[in-house]
């Protein structure tokens, strides 16, 4: 077992942190670390909760095809041990320098040419988001550019010139100095990751574990049943940043490759709990596109690159974006302990407000989703104050199956944001089953929403608005079905 050390690539060199020689805990974020070392203060703290993008950096890692992949992430949300075996790229690394000159990276040059910077505070984060897109290997259109920049706020420049800079950069993506160094970086990362041993870090009153396998994870869970489990740490890091919440024991499973895969079987999909939300978004678009209105507006790309499907489920938030669609898809949650495995319907897995059916010695390993029922119509929508990078006020995911005569054979209406948990509108469902799916019947069903839910008023909305919006979403489901029927559904 490797004890008290992690290693990653920074400035093209292997960088080692030995916790017997430093004075900060392992749960230090990547942002805090960068701000503490010389010549790396271009990465800024704006919000410390993943909303502004000023702290954006790019991580490069070796994928299963032995190639480097580049991902923009919010450094304020990632604990330092999570970058073990990866390359950390900051704004200081983009330009190439000699003793007498500096050559800007094409991303930086485009920002200069389009006047896409004003006060400059947010500009490093914006440049890193564009750089992540530049190194993605894709030729993005304007929609992809806007999506990649949705996690970067800029209050003085105006977004038009920033989008212009990204479009100018992406018109001609050419090899850069990172391309030239990729072979060397890849070999260094492979060497760092060669050991399959778990990493155990200790600093005063904090223990931090970085297992590489499910088996190692479960051994830590047995030994430290009260340890907090993190993968992307997008929730725990915010609580640490904003309320100074301290976790004495952390098990970080972000290096467990076994739980990152998506496997297609004859009748279902097995999705690893460690699958990040960006990859899950792509999966939904390819297999259940009707739920893309939810996944397309899940946080920002920086967050989606590190947040995970398992984390979103285990958080069990009543406004969690993914739980409604997973309930409609009749997903199952698979858990593992050192002695057995369990498969639980996701409706039963969520037991209450931020409460789940998971024992202290268990780990969620995968989510099983049956393949699409082509006889059903699916619908989803998220209601929020902002279009992008916002938490739901309420949301709906629904499925409905009609007979040839137009009667409702089966229906699921799942709402987030109307109760202490994501919840089905059972009274509305029962009322509609067996009846003709007409506007009159939907209008009557809407009157039952008050009996299904008693939402609260809070900072996001009032009780009255939530009830009215829930009814309107049911109406939109009706018109969505009518439109599809006219198109041959």
CA distances (Å), 260 to each of 3, 275, 304, 466, in order?
A: 25, 4, 14, 36
Our CA angle for 55, 59, 61, nearest 5°, is 170
Instruction: Let me know whether 171 and 183 are in one domain.
Output: no
Containing structural domain, residue 143: 106-175
Please identify, among 304, 338, 370, the residue that sits at the C-terminal boundary of a domain: 370
Residue 99 lies in a domain: no
Task: Tell me if 100 is assigned to some domain.
Answer: no
Report the predicted TM-score, pTM, of the whole model to 2 decimal places: 0.96
What is the CA angle 276-235-10, rounded to 5? 65
User: Considering 128, 149, 175, which residue would you say is the last residue of a domain?
Assistant: 175
Sequence-separated (6 or more) residues with CB below 8 Å from residue 369: 268, 269, 271, 326, 329, 330, 331
Q: For strands 341-345 and 332-336, give the pairing.
A: antiparallel
Domain with 76 in it: what CATH number?
3.10.20.30
Q: Is the pLDDT of residue 487 over 90?
A: no
Residue 263 has pLDDT above 70, yes or no: yes
Whether residue 185 sits in one domain with residue 75: yes
Please identify, among 370, 391, 419, the residue that sits at the C-terminal boundary of a domain: 370
DSSP code per residue over 349-391: HEEETTEES--TT-EEEEEEEEPP-TTSEEEEEEE-SSSSS--
Mean pLDDT within 226-235: 95
CATH code, domain with 453: 3.30.390.50
Same domain, 141 and 284: no
pLDDT in tens, 172-226: 899 999 999 999 999 999 999 999 999 999 999 999 999 999 999 999 999 999 9
For residue 466, give the nearest of 396, 397, 399 by alpha carbon. 396
Q: SS3 for 298? A: coil
Does some domain include residue 458?
Answer: yes
333 and 431 assigned to the same domain: no
Per DSSP, the three-state class of 401 is strand
Determine the Cα–Cα distance for residues 307 and 231; give it in Å rounded to an integer.
7
Strand-pair partners of 96: 103
Res 311 pLDDT > 70: yes
Q: Is residue 423 part of a domain?
A: yes
Number of domains in the chain: 4
Instruction: Categorize the per-residue pLDDT at 489 as very low, low, confident or very high, splitting at 50, 70 and 90.
Output: very low
CATH (domain of 124): 1.10.150.120
Q: How far apart are CA 39 and CA 23, in angstroms?
A: 19
Together in a domain, 81 and 183: yes
Considering the domain architecture, whether residues 295 and 421 belong to the same structural domain is answered as: no
Query: What percent of the chain lies above the pLDDT cut of 70?
Result: 99
């Amino acid at each position: 077992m490797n004890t008290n050390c992690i290693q990653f690539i920074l400035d093209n060199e292997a960088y080692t942190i030995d916790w017997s020689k430093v004075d900060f805990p392992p749960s230090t974020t990547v942002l805090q670390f960068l701000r503490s070392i010389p010549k790396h203060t271009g990465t800024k703290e704006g919000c410390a909760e993943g909303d502004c993008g000023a702290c954006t950096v790019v991580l490069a890692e070796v994928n299963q095809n032995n190639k480097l992949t580049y991902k923009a992430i919010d450094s304020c949300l990632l604990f330092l041990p999570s970058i073990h075996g990866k390359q950390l790229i900051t704004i200081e690394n983009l330009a190439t320098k000699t003793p007498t000159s500096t050559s800007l990276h094409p991303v930086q040059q485009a920002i200069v040419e389009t006047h896409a910077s004003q006060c400059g505070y947010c500009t490093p984060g914006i440049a890193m988001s564009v750089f992540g897109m530049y190194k993605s290997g894709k030729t993005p259109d304007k929609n992809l550019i806007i999506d990649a920049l949705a996690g970067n706020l800029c209050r003085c420049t105006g977004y038009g010139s920033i989008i212009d800079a990204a479009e100018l950069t992406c018109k001609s993506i050419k090899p850069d100095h990172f391309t030239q160094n990729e072979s060397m970086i890849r070999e260094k990362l492979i060497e760092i990751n060669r050991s399959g041993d778990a990493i155990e870090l200790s600093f005063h009153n904090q223990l931090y574990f970085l297992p590489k396998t499910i088996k190692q994870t479960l051994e830590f869970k047995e030994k430290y049943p009260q340890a907090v489990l993190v993968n992307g740490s997008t929730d725990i890091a915010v609580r640490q940043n904003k309320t100074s919440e301290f976790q004495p024991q952390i098990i970080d499973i972000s290096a467990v490759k076994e739980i990152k895969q998506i496997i297609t079987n004859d009748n279902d999909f097995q999705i690893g709990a460690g699958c990040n939300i960006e990859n899950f978004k792509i999966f939904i678009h390819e297999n259940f596109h009707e739920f893309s209105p939810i996944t397309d507006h899940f946080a920002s790309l920086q967050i989606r690159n590190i947040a995970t499907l398992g984390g979103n489920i285990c958080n069990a938030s009543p406004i969690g974006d993914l739980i409604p669609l997973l309930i409609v898809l009749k997903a199952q949650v698979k858990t593992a302990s050192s002695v057995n495995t369990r498969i639980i319907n996701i409706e039963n897995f969520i037991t209450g407000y931020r409460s789940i059916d998971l024992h202290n010695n268990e780990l969620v390993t995968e989510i099983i989703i049956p393949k699409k029922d082509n006889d059903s119509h699916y619908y989803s929508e998220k209601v929020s104050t902002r279009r992008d990078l916002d938490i739901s006020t309420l949301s709906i995911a629904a499925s409905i199956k009609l007979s040839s005569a137009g009667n409702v054979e089966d229906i699921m209406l799942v709402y987030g944001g109307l109760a202490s948990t994501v919840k089905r509108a059972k009274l509305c469902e029962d009322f509609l089953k067996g009846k003709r799916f007409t506007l009159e019947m939907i209008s009557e069903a809407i009157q039952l929403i008050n009996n299904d839910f008693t939402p609260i008023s809070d900072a996001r909305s009032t009780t009255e608005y939530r009830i009215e919006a829930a009814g309107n979403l049911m109406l939109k489901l009706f018109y969505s079905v009518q439109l599809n029927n006219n198109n041959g559904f």
